[in-house]
């Protein structure tokens, strides 16, 4: 009876997860390399920081003006990100160093910083999937975030004098979806 019960439990658990062939897993891990390339690019990693001071520019220098994350990720009280960062990029006529803009300009909140600068692939992969550190997002919510969020999309249209993320957005989303649909296997 115990063997039957254990077999039924194992069968139920197996049925709940995605069925991924070794080939699908290999393709998903390969797709994650594209995801990693995007996440590690300064357009993303400048705000996904381990400390509380964001970085700026491709050189990832500490943000000027003593800017910090703040209690909600929107800057310090009295100096919110929106003080300088508008809802859209300024016109090119403002010059190459004008603060860029996008809706809800902010850093991740302190309770789930999603800091991944310099993380090895396997750790980055695990962090992205970890609901405790990613804002309680499942794969569907993560996919929506990377494909629709206006602040994320800013990385592909960063304004005058800034290089966009080097992977076209549609290719990034396709790679993210392939990886997520396979259950998010991590590189070893």
Instruction: Please give the pLDDT value at position 53.
Output: 95
Instruction: Please give the pLDDT value at position 10.
Output: 46
Mean pLDDT of the chain: 92
Instruction: Please give the pLDDT value at position 97.
Output: 86
Task: Phi first, then psi: give them for residue 76, nearest 5 degrees.
Answer: -75, 150
pLDDT in tens, 116-149: 998 999 999 999 999 998 999 999 999 999 999 9
pLDDT in tens, 2-57: 665 545 554 454 455 568 999 999 999 999 999 999 999 999 999 999 999 999 99
Instruction: Please give the pLDDT value at position 152.
Output: 97
Instruction: Please give the pLDDT value at position 13.
Output: 47
Helix residue ranges, H only, 52-138? 121-129
Taking the C-alpha atoms of residue 40 and residue 38, their distance in angstroms, rounded to an integer, is 5
- Bridge-partner residues for 75, per DSSP? 80
Residue owning tokens 């300009």: 105
Bridge pairing between strands 75-76 and 61-62: unpaired
Task: Phi first, then psi: give them for residue 92, nearest 5 degrees.
Answer: -55, -30
Burial of residue 100 (number of CB atoms within 10 Å: 0-12, 13-18, 19+): buried
Q: Each residue of 142-154: b (16+ CB within 10 Å) or e? A: bbeebbeeeebeb
pLDDT in tens, 64-114: 999 999 999 999 999 999 999 999 999 999 998 899 999 999 999 999 899
Instruction: Please give the pLDDT value at position 96.
Output: 85
Contacts of 172 (CB under 8 A, 6+ apart): 34, 35, 38, 146, 165
């Amino acid at each position: 009876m115990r063997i039957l019960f254990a077999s039924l439990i194992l069968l139920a658990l197996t049925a709940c997860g995605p069925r991924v062939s070794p080939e699908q897993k290999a393709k998903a891990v390969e797709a994650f390399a594209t995801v990693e390339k995007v996440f590690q690019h300064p357009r993303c990693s400048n705000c996904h920081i381990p400390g509380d001071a964001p970085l700026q520019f491709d050189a990832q220098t500490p943000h000027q003006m003593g800017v910090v994350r703040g209690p909600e990720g929107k800057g310090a009280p009295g100096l919110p990100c929106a003080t300088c960062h508008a809802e859209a990029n300024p016109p090119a006529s403002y010059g190459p160093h004008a603060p860029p803009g996008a809706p809800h300009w902010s850093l991740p909140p302190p309770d789930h910083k999603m800091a991944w600068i310099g993380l090895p692939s396997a750790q980055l992969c695990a962090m992205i999937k970890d609901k405790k550190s990613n804002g309680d997002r499942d794969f569907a919510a993560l996919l929506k975030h990377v494909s629709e969020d206006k602040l994320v999309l800013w990385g592909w249209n960063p304004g005058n004098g800034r290089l966009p993320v080097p992977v076209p957005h549609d290719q990034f989303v396709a790679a993210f979806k392939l990886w997520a649909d396979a259950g998010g296997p991590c590189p070893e």
